[in-house]
Every structure is written in C-alpha cells, then in structure tokens.
Structure 1
Amino acid sequence: MNASGKLERLTLWLKERKITEVECLISDMTGIARGKIAPTSKFIAERGMRLPESVLLQTVTGDYVNEDVYYRLLDPAEIDMFCHPDESAAFLVPWAVEPTAMVIHDTCDKWGNPIELSPRNLLKKVLAMYAERGWQPIVAPEMEFYLTQRSGDPDYPLQAPVGRSGRQEIGRQSFSIDAANEFDPLFEDMYDWCEAQGLDLDTLIHEEGTAQMEINFRHGEALHLADQIFVFKRTLREAALKHNVTATFMAKPMTGEPGSAMHLHQSVLDRDGQNIFSAPDGSMSELFLNHIGGLQKYIPELLPLFAPNVNSFRRFLPGTSAPVNVEWGEENRTVGLRVPDSAPHNRRVENRLPGADANPYLAIAASLLCGYVGMVEQLQPSAPVQGRGYERRSLRLPLTLEAALERMENCRALERYLNPRFITAYIAVKRAENENFKRVISSWERAFLLLSV
C-alpha cells in the first residue's frame, strides 16, 4: 500500500473512533515522547508535522549538546525535519478526557532520506539488514519497574506505596500473588488501557524488589514491540498517577533493592518462518552460536545503548543480582546471555543486560545488530558457563558511564553498520547529561563529608 493509501486508512481509523485530538510523537535519544498535539482535522490536512532536528540532540534535562558537536551535526540554519505518521503505530489515549489518539511518526529530510539521528530509524535500518538476507528477528521484551509513593522532593529517598490493604509493602515478595493484588485497581486500569491500545501484554509478576513488578510482552516483530514499549511506559505512568502512586523505569531507583531490567528474548526466522537458531536435527545451529558470539563481542562496545544513564550502572554493582558479564549459558540467570530451555522451534537467547531505562528502539536495535554482525562475521562464542557466573572475571563490562562512552567512541568495527553521525550524537547527548549530573551535590556528600573533612 502506498503512502496515500496508508494515510487514508489512518484517517478512517480516526474517524471511526471519533478522535478529536492527535498526539504526534517521535522518540528522542532518551525515549521521551516529543512532538505536537493537533486537532484531528489539522492532522489529516497537513499529513504530518515538522520539528527541529535539534530535538534529537536534547538531553533528559532539556539541555543540548555542546555547540561544537551541535553545529557539526546539524545545519547551521537549524532547519526542520519532516515527520510522517506511521499508520501501523496509531494508538488510543484511554486516559484522555476527550477522544484522543497518539501516532508515532517517522522522520526524514526534505528529500525523503531518513534522519540518521532518529532512534526509530536506527532500528529500521538494522531490520533492513536482516531483511536483505531473508531473516526476520522476533523479540519478546520483559519490562521491570517499581511502584513508589509520590514525592515532590528528589532529595528524599523513594518509599514503597501503600496497597489496598492500607499497609506499606515491606521485604522481598518474589512471585507473590497477594503482594501484586495489593495494586489490583491500578493493574486493572493498566490492562484495560493496554487492551484498548492493542498492546500484546502477557503475564504480570511481582519481582524481587519491594513493590517491584514485571510485565512480559508476547513475542513479535521487533519494530512493533519497540513501539509498544514506548507506548506502554506512558500508559503505566498514567495509570499509576490515577491511583496516586508513581511508576518508575529507573534502572536503580531505591538503595538496597534490585535494579530493573528490560530483558530481551530474541530469535530469527527465515523466509519460510523457520527458526534459524535450530539445526534440522533440533540442535543449536551454527548461526545461533555465531549470534551469541556477536552479542559477546559487541555488547561491551555498545553498552551505553543498554545502560544509558549514570543510574544505569548502579544496577551493575556487586551483590545486585544483575549479571555484569557477557557470558552465556543454558537455563542460567547468572550470566548476561541466557538460553532458556525450549523446543527447537522456540530456541532463543535472552539478553539480560539492558536496563528498563534504556530507549527501547536503541536497545533492541543494538541487541539485534550485535547478533547480526556475529552471524555475518561467523564469530564463535566462548564456552557456556556451568553454575554460578556472577563472579566470572572474563568478558566483563565497563562499570561506569564514562568508561562505556569512551569504549563506544573508540569502536571502529561497527562504523559500517552504525552511522558515525549517530554515534557522535548519542555520545554527545550522554556526556552532556553526565556533566550535568556531576554538577549536583549528592546527599551522600553532605552526610559524610560536611563535618568530616
């Protein structure tokens, strides 16, 4: 179907639902929804929107990268990029007072070339590489998050919320049904809203941390799942606010509690829909081992796409139950790359390293790219880990954002796959955020240094 036909179908979808307002969205580097809100009539008439490309160089604090990088990457005239609605990425906004939809847009220049700094375009580029070889990646994300009491003071430590029993959750409640049911009204709204949006949610579980939960998505096409995570984060936050609590996807929001991950299960199908990770006899295929080899070699080079913030690396501290390596093993949750026990047609690898705070487009793109390069370059993995892998010293990851950014900046092996402009832009955004962070005096410094040094 051509662009005109797709827009007509989207127009019909809006009219059938009597939508009066459209939120026109793109994802920035952080995963924040940026864009415009338009009356439906204006949205249909204009067939998209224009935004300054500088939006993609904006940090989580709303600042921009330094001027040297800014004007090296962007037109000095600060021209607009053109944003076109993707009719397959239209969702209802169930919490809005008026009938409202959100539509995710693709970005291009005036000649129709994809904007290289766009996270969604990066994922589409990686998927195109797979398609050229007759492959289709399938992913199934698992999103961990915390519910907390609402607080207007960022210096005050987060606290677990009070459930419907009137009591605050304490202690570890892994897989507890009753502990999850404490927040039934919130989750009922969440599921109702996600169903209205067509999100493919699967199971809800109570995770290890206090008021920490996990939502699993059904497996599916990678771009569609990235869009769903992008929408789900907004949806859950709105459901939490309705019930006077906060939902956070910070990688490590609470001291002494486990971090929150975005585990990515990934497999690859051929043109006939067969899983290329399994050989005809049902054993692991050579391509599967190559895929793991690529993940092992290149995840450390692209770690800032999986752990994008200073807070992300708190999840990797010793004793936090998060793997800090790219070892692999079967049915082993102590390594970064777990191969679940499954039937041959369901064979997959679970990348357990991305944080819940990662931009879903970038984390999925990076994870699939690492595996793709492994298959193309026929990389071999290390021997699988038997038993506990937390303390393994080989194949370890950078442990600070500064070290990870430096390693990504110096990686030349992936420049043929990742445009250098994107790498420069992403690193500049993350360094600007890190510099902003370092200007803030923490409560730890005031507590231990104020009268001691």
Structure 2
Amino acid sequence: MQRLETWLKENRVTEVECVISDLTGIVRGKISPVDKFLYERGMHLPESVLLQTVTGDWVDDDIYYSLLDPADIDMVCHPDPDATFLLPWTQEPTAQVIHDTYDRDGNPIALSPRNVLKKVLALYDEKGWKPVVAPEMEFYLTQRCADPDVPLVPPIGRSGRPETGRQSFSIEAANEFDPLFEDMYDWCEYQGLEIDTLIHEEGTAQMEINFLHGDPLMLADHVQVFKRTMREAAMKHGVLATFMAKPISNEPGSAMHLHQSVLDVKTGKNVFSDPDGSMSELFKYHIGGMQRYIPELLPLLAPNVNSFRRFLPDTSAPINVEWGYANRTCGLRIPESNADNQRLENRLAGADANSYLAIAASLLCGYMGMMEKIEPSAACMGRAYERKNFSLPTTIESAVERMEQSAAARKYLGDAFVDGYIAVKRAEHENFKRVISSWEREFLLLSV
C-alpha cells in the first residue's frame, strides 16, 4: 500500500476510481477522494454486483440466495498496486485502481472474473510454467445514434464522407480517423497500456489494435482499460466505438484473438518447441485440450446472444476448433514464427468477451490437454469452414447448457462460479427474448 500511496502522491491524484469487473465485463465500483481511499485502504461492495446482468437485472432468487449471503453482505476489495492507471480524459487528476475481491475471512470471491483467471494461472505455476498471451482487439467506429432500433452506420472521416466498401488493411481508410487514433495512442501510453499495431480490418470502419505479448493477468487488465479508453477517445471526436461481436448486419464480426504460449519458468524456454524448433508433445496436447474443451467453455469466449451472430455460415469468423498452420479459416491457428515464439492463436473469442474470463478459459483448455495428454486431430489443410467434425454450439442456449453439464468446468472453476455464470447468462437471454425484433415486424406483421 505504501508503494501505491507514493504513486498517487507523485502523480498528484485527487480522485480514485476503485473498480472491479463483473461477469459481463462491466466496470463497477466507487469514486473516492484520494485521502479517503488511503484511509480506508480499499472498499466494500455488495457481493450481489457479481450476479448482475448486462441489463442491470438480477438472477432468479433460488440461485441468488444459494450463492450469496441472504443478508446481502459486502465483499472486501483490496487495491492491486500493479493495476493502477491514470485517466487522461478527466478534468481532475484521477486514477483507476483495479481491486481484488475477498470474503470477510480473506478467501477470494469465487464469482470474481479476476480471481478466476488467477486460479487458472496458479495451475500453470504449480507445474513450473508461465503462460504468455497477446490479445488482438477488433472493434467498429460508428456514427452516434440514440435510437437502438436504428441500424448503425459508418462515421464521417476527415474527408467529410463516410467509408464505403471493404477496406482491409487500407492505410488511407485508417488515416481518415488520425486525430482520434493519435489521442488513443497518447492516452494508452499515458496509462502504460502496451499496445502495438493499428490495422484497418475487413468491415466498414472496423479496426484492430494488437497488444504486445506479456503476463496474462496484466494483459486482461489492459484490455479492460483499453476498451474504456477507446470508447472515451471516440466520444471525444464525436463518434462511437463498439466492441459488440456483431454490431452491423452483413459486416464481419469483431473478435478478441488470443495468441498464447507457455514458458518453462526455470529455463525461460518455450515449451511449445523442441530443441530442433519443431512442435513439442506439450504443444500438441495443448491443441488437443483446446479442441476437446472449448465447446464446453464457449460461453466464456462468446458470452452474449449477439456473440453467436459472428458464427453464422458465410462469415469471416471460424466456426470450428480445427487447427492448422497459418490457416485463418481454423478456430485454432499456428502463425508463422521461430522456435522461441511458437504459439497458438485462438480465433474464437469475441471482442465482447470479458477479458479475464476469455483468457482464463483459453488457457485452461490448453492446460487440461497438457495434463490429460490429449492428442489433437490432424492439421487442417485448406478451408475449414465447411468441416463439421469440430463444430461448435450454435446458440447461447445450447452453449450454456453444455457448460452447465461440463465436469471439467466444475472441477477447475468451481460449482459456485459455473452456477452463477450460467444463471446470469440465462437471465440475460430471458430478457432478450422479451424484445420484438425488426425482422419480426418486417416479415410477420402483415403476412401471418
């Protein structure tokens, strides 16, 4: 705490945003004057915020009271001095400090996404391994629109015209929003976010930001902070940034591609490579685990009903857990690299996923493969889109049911987390089903 206090004083911070992530990835917490923050050395929040849905509703009472104290008690939140970020868009010097959550006896809260990731990382640590990840975040820029029934449209760039057509990797199309991205890069540097390349993706005004590889917990924090930073930068320039998995009809979806590898702690060597640079047995087992278990943990990678619109046929997103070398039609891709950087790219996670849970799920699937020595299928040659051997659940309902029945999920993530997460997803889907869509009005109103 002394290190954090020194940092706050050196940066003349007057307000502290004390935050945690809920299951959907929404940042929740309190804003505190810095003196009060230092005096209290943390904060208390109701346990119930971890069972709140994306709409702000709650799960069924039976689940609620089976997982939470009926007295609606608080959990104890302690600041992590390694997860502090100065906010460049505020008028007063403000810091965002990510907290870890505990019960009154000092035990980590099972429903906390950050604790779930820590739990998975501890499994690797016990084996003398250190995972390394590098997320790639896709998102759309759109015009502002206050009416959710009106489809989103591309924003106006520097030229005064909206973007049209597919502009994959276009430098000029990305430069249309140079002032916005200059702020974004400045703000990320100010906060210590380790971002790298900016790419114009396939969709109209769809972009991608790549993160430098590093520690999974740090990168999960950085992705959460980046999403907010990108939205703030966009609003400053009169547009919106959205990380919905499929925000616009007939356009590609947005993914959170996860590059992952594993180092031996003692030697620092990549365990995915043999001395001659070839694929190691551990790497094969890691891939086998991804193929076996991703279908059981898919709601952690594709958490919303909208997530599954990315997986429709004839889209650019993979809809399988096939693997291949430099093959973007596979859900699991091995990029071209040298032995030290040999890695797997999980292309299935949506940009809408909670970064802590998506990284935890992806690493856990690989870990289980390494523990159980699961052999992968043969590498896919050619297009994998039409292959059905390793297809995925196609709806949030079927995916949630599969996760609920997963013995592996319950073994490693715990019954409390699985039951709580499933309850939140089901409550959200029940809310979704109450909304009448424009498709229904267009085709059924006067036809049936």
What TM-score comes out, normalization by structure 2 length? 0.99
Q: Report the AA paired with residue 253 of structure 2.
A: G
Q: Report the AA paired with residue 376 of structure 2.
A: P
Q: Give matches, 1:75-224, under 5 Å.
A: 75-224=69-218
* Aligned-residue offset at 1:415: 2.2
Counterpart of 1:322 in structure 2 is 317
Counterpart of 1:245 in structure 2 is 239
Q: Does residue 1:11 correspond to 2:5, yes or no?
A: yes
Q: Does residue 1:28 correspond to 2:19, yes or no?
A: no
Counterpart of 2:349 in structure 1 is 354
Contact 2:403–2:409 (8 Å) recurs in 1: no
Residue among 383, 386, 389 paired with 1:388: 383
CA distance in 2: counterparts of 1:293 and 1:188, whole angstroms: 41
CA distance in 1: counterparts of 2:410 and 2:327, whole angstroms: 32
Deviation per CA, 1:124-172: give whole Å up to 9, x if none: 0000110011000000000000000000000000000000110000000
- Give the match's secondary structure for 1:373: helix
Counterpart of 1:3 in structure 2 is none
CA distance in 1: counterparts of 2:138 and 2:354, whole angstroms: 14
Q: Give matches, 1:274-353, under 5 Å.
A: 274-353=269-348
CA distance in 1: counterparts of 2:109 and 2:413, whole angstroms: 13
Contact 2:304–2:396 (8 Å) recurs in 1: yes
CA distance in 2: counterparts of 1:295 and 1:34, whole angstroms: 31
Q: Report the AA paired with residue 50 of structure 2.
A: L
- Give the match's secondary structure for 1:220: coil
- Give the match's secondary structure for 1:153: coil
| Uncovered stretches (5+) of structure 1, i.e. residues with no partner | 1-6
* Aligned-residue offset at 1:413: 2.9
Counterpart of 2:62 in structure 1 is 68
Q: Report the AA paired with residue 121 of structure 1.
A: N
- Give the match's secondary structure for 1:267: strand
CA distance in 1: counterparts of 2:309 and 2:408, whole angstroms: 28
Deviation per CA, 1:64-96: give whole Å up to 9, x if none: 001010001001111100000000000010000
Contact 2:83–2:97 (8 Å) recurs in 1: yes
Contact 2:404–2:419 (8 Å) recurs in 1: yes
Q: Which runs of 4+ in 1 moved over 3 A?
A: none
Q: Report the AA paired with residue 67 of structure 2.
A: L
Counterpart of 2:228 in structure 1 is 234
Contact 2:297–2:409 (8 Å) recurs in 1: no
* Aligned-residue offset at 1:282: 1.1
- Give the match's secondary structure for 1:417: helix
Deviation per CA, 1:255-302: give whole Å up to 9, x if none: 000000000000000012100000112110000000000000000000
CA distance in 2: counterparts of 1:79 and 1:96, whole angstroms: 32
| Uncovered stretches (5+) of structure 2, i.e. residues with no partner | none
Q: Sequence identity of aligned pairs in percent?
A: 73
What TM-score comes out, normalization by structure 1 length? 0.98
CA distance in 2: counterparts of 1:413 and 1:274, whole angstroms: 29
- Give the match's secondary structure for 2:136: strand
Counterpart of 1:39 in structure 2 is 33
Counterpart of 2:439 in structure 1 is 444
* Aligned-residue offset at 1:246: 0.4
Contact 2:288–2:374 (8 Å) recurs in 1: yes
Q: Report the AA paired with residue 60 of structure 1.
A: V
Tell me the C-alpha RMSD between the 2 structures.
0.5
Contact 2:134–2:213 (8 Å) recurs in 1: yes
Deviation per CA, 1:97-118: give whole Å up to 9, x if none: 0000000000001111000000
Q: Does residue 1:413 correspond to 2:408, yes or no?
A: yes
CA distance in 2: counterparts of 1:321 and 1:76, whole angstroms: 46
CA distance in 2: counterparts of 1:233 and 1:411, whole angstroms: 31
